[in-house]
Amino acid sequence: MSVKDKNIVIGICGGIAAYKITYLVRSLVKSSAHVQVIMTPEAKAFVTPLTFATLSKNPVYADYFDPNTGVWHNHVDLGLHADLLLIAPATANTLSKMAHGGCDNLLLATYLSAKCPVMFAPAMDLDMWSHPSTQDNVSRLQGFGNILIAPTSGELASGLSGEGRLAEPEDIFEAISTFFHDALPLKGKKALVTAGPTHETIDPVRFIGNHSSGKMGFAIAEVLQQLGAEVMLVSGPTALKTPEKVQRHNVTTAQEMLTQVEQHFEDADIVVMSAAVADYTPVEVASKKIKKKDEVFTIALRKTTDILATLGAKKLAKQTLVGFALETDNELENAKGKLARKNLDYIVLNSMQDQGAGFAVDTNKVTIIGKDLHTIELPLKSKKEIAKDICDIIADHQLAKGEQS
């Protein structure tokens, strides 16, 4: 879901439709959104703060200061760290204050200081909704850039029937989900990611391989998809589950990986080569299992095609090409040399000297080096967090390319 990990502040006003927001909060939390509820003093007469606290798994804010806990609820922080502020149900009274700068409660103070996008879903009787002053306020709010989730027609609390009914929770959820999807920085972009090891066959039961688990590449594929990209993942042998909505091609050898990557390279805007591809492969593959008989056994090896250098040589102007380097000595110098030789936009340096980094673990510590040699050192984090940092840099690079074209 596109609401996953989003910080959503929901402001609830004093109207009978407040009960519908319980269903919305529950749906958002089930979809892994982080929900913070703010209630106007009047809203507490319709649904208790305890209900929303239980559903959102967060304390509910209704006043600037909580005398029981001594906690000051900072409206600036609430609006600053949110990805979206939704005001629903938005009463005629609150709409008027929003439109004209009124600020007599915590919700309105949060609205006036919010740096994030704002949605509002009105709910009121049909005559109140159709009144020219209400319609002027709605138009004024839309002129500010706020997003209207229009009320629907139906039975109203007054017993009348007409326009003014709060949009259904599932429709509000869909509006929020669509908003985040449309706002994704990599929407419309195609990404190609490689991950995992390659296995170079010696005989029917043996191979040359490495300790790569594929976790870093799979995390990058997942994050790129969450940022809106259409992702093709080419994976060597690994038992990892394919990230949601990511297309996957399984390969075994370096040659198979090269073949798959070349098929998709030209269409890709973003290429992240995180796979640990074998540098050498056996010259001959035995058709039967090689028996153990000699004290010393020698296998003739030949170089595999350097996939990253091959791609770098034909990189297109639209593309962001990212490589990985795992080093044990002269790490920074070796990574910078690889960056230049292979015509990369970025290289991600892993050091085998860092505890908790490298193969087969859930954490990593990397240094990201740009084509201009600008260096970003990231501390030890989960591979998912490292993936987010890398993908944010990729998204910024793609945005800059779009502005230049």
DSSP-assigned letter for residue 338:
H
Q: What are phi and psi of 298, to 5 degrees?
A: -120, 135
Pick the catalytic residue from 210, 250, 334, 343. 210
Is 189 annotated in a binding site? The answer is no
Is 97 annotated in a binding site? The answer is no
d(CA 222, CA 233) in angstroms, rounded, equals 10
d(CA 3, CA 180) in angstroms, rounded, equals 7
d(CA 369, CA 322) in angstroms, rounded, equals 10
What own/partner pairs with CB < 8 Å and gap ≥ 24 does 261-265 have? 261/192, 261/194, 261/234, 261/307, 261/311, 262/310, 264/192, 264/232, 264/234, 265/192, 265/311, 265/314
Q: Give exposure, 28-64, as e/b (b: 16+ Cβ within 10 Å).
A: bbebebbbbbbbbebbbebbebebbeebbeeebbbee
Please report the DSSP string for 291-318 in residue order. Answer: P---SS----EEEPP-HHHHHHHT--TT
d(CA 129, CA 91) in angstroms, rounded, equals 9
DSSP-assigned letter for residue 220:
H
Only one residue has tokens 């879903």, namely 121
Is 324 annotated in a binding site? The answer is yes
Q: Determine which helix (DSSP H) or strand (DSSP E) holds 177, and give its type and residue range.
A: helix 169-182
d(CA 29, CA 51) in angstroms, rounded, equals 14
Active-site residue 146, yes or no?
no
Q: Which residues are catalytic?
A: 210
Q: Which residues are annotated as a binding site?
A: 279, 289, 324, 338, 342
Q: Which residues are annotated as a binding site for CTP?
A: 279, 289, 324, 338, 342
